[in-house]
Amino acid sequence: MALKFVNEVELQGKSVIARFDFNVPFKKTRGPSGERVISDPTRIESSLETIKYLLDQGVKTIILMSHLGRPKGKASKDLSLEPVGKYLANSLDTDVILTESCLDLNIKTLLDLNTSRIILLENLRFHPEEEENDFEFARRLASYGDIYLNDAFGAAHRKHASTHAINHYFKNNSVGGFLLKKEIMALEKVTEKPKGPFMAILGGAKVSDKIQIIEKLLPLVERLLIGGAMAYPFLKAQGHSIGKSLCSDEDIKLAEKILGGPQKQKVTLPQDHIVSEQLDGAPEVSDSLDIEDNKIGLDIGERTISLFKNELKKANTIFWNGPMGLFENKSFSKGTFEIASALSESEGFTLIGGGDSVAAVKEAKLESLISHISTGGGASLEFIEKGSLPGIQALKFGITL
Ligand code: AMP
């Protein structure tokens, strides 16, 4: 069964219940009236193409739904979708009515009155049933629309009521949005016959979180470059000293497994480091593979940057996830920004899988030079690992009780 997208169905006069991922980050400081201020609206911006298309096609009403943060099943003023509603209203230059709760009894009346074409349901996760994938909760959400639309790529790896169970109530009336389509197409360029040489570059802090993706990527890639704190368990497993760098015994075991496996020659590790005695200490060059006992490895060194950049120059497809060091601290950010610039200079297909690497590319203002930046960190990693996601499978094949 093929996945149907929003441009393949009749929408005129229909009510569409649409799941987006409006889980945006907020600034630490509040606005003049004490309101929360969105720090990065990318996820809302990415939804606009689908919403505008629905309006242009003459839908009767769009009922928007999303989660925001982790309210753990309880209503919380701080995690209200109100700032999202305001942002949408400004961007679309139309009214957006925010409901008191996604189960508000007035929603049906609001739909009948037809005073606004856009209704935003309050944070789904104010109700524990959302994360419990509850069918009765999903049935109530489903009752608002004739058509179900899912464009929440960043939440598609979760089996939640609004992404999973709800599909049960829309047998032939469920569609994917334009963002979902873009994300799937970009990820399939990496998972299905990537144009070689294909190289992946992984960084960040924990091997255990990314072990499955390493195992999935290794047979597909020509080379796997590992930087950031992820590299230390591998260096340790090879018998090098890593000083006080971030590393757990569990991660060393996982690294030993990979380095003992048939694809071990594809793994490229750092050859030098930027170290310090403390996380906020002065940076020092450590020009060898081994790190002194009292030092912490906090970035890749110059030779490693050159080595990684030379490898990436040969690639026709590049997948990147995870920073090369403690990049939030300027003293240890060079490796990460150099990799961001290597991707921006590549003529191949470049895909960044969410998270901190996206923050680095944005800070360097290089977004427009990357082929695809995924809006979902966890979702893109899981897609590569498994070839699809529960939310996408449910949209494709439906759900039975
Ligand atoms: P992850 O969520 O696994 O991608 O990890 C991202 C985090 O890893 C960022 O906050 C980085 O600062 C951190 N990180 C990357 N390299 C290092 C390092 N060498 N030492 C400490 N933290 C690091």
- pLDDT, residue 1, reads 64
Query: Ligand 1 atom 1: the closest Cα is on which residue?
Result: 204
CA angle centred on 24, ends 31 and 36, rounded to 5°:
15
Residue 396 exposed, middle or buried by CB count within 10 Å (0-12, 13-18, 19+)? middle
- What is the position in ligand 1's atom list of the atom closest to the CA of 230? 16
Choose, from 60, 159, 189, 206, the residue flagged as catalytic: 206
Does the active-site annotation cover 228?
A: no
* 197's tokens: 């040489």
Asked whether 280 lines ligand 1 (CB < 6 A), one says no
- 59-118 pLDDT per residue, tens: 999 999 999 999 999 999 999 999 999 999 999 999 999 999 999 988 988 888 877 899
Does the active-site annotation cover 125?
A: no
- pLDDT, residue 334, reads 98
Residue type, 159: K
Q: Is 372 helix (H, G, I), strand (E, B) or coil?
A: strand
Q: From residue 369, give the alpha-carbon distance in Å to each of 148, 292, 349.
A: 34, 38, 10
Asked whether 206 lines ligand 1 (CB < 6 A), one says yes
- pLDDT, residue 88, reads 98
Residue 264 exposed, middle or buried by CB count within 10 Å (0-12, 13-18, 19+)? exposed
CA distance 190 to 188: 5
Does the active-site annotation cover 19?
A: no
Alpha helix (H) ranges present in 125-200? Answer: 128-131, 135-142, 178-191
Question: How far does Cα 364 stand from its chain's mean position?
Answer: 19
Asked whether 270 lines ligand 1 (CB < 6 A), one says no
- pLDDT, residue 185, reads 95
Question: How far does Cα 362 stand from its chain's mean position?
Answer: 14
Query: Ligand 1 atom 14: the closest Cα is on which residue?
Result: 326
Query: Ligand 1 atom 12: the closest Cα is on which residue?
Result: 326
Asked whether 297 lines ligand 1 (CB < 6 A), one says yes
DSSP character at residue 136? H
- pLDDT, residue 203, reads 95
Query: Ligand 1 atom 7: the closest Cα is on which residue?
Result: 204
CA distance 343 to 211: 23
Choose, from 14, 19, 43, 236, the residue flagged as catalytic: 43
Alpha helix (H) ranges present in 202-301? Answer: 207-217, 231-237, 249-259
The parts of the chain modelled with pLDDT lower than 50 are: none
- pLDDT, residue 172, reads 86
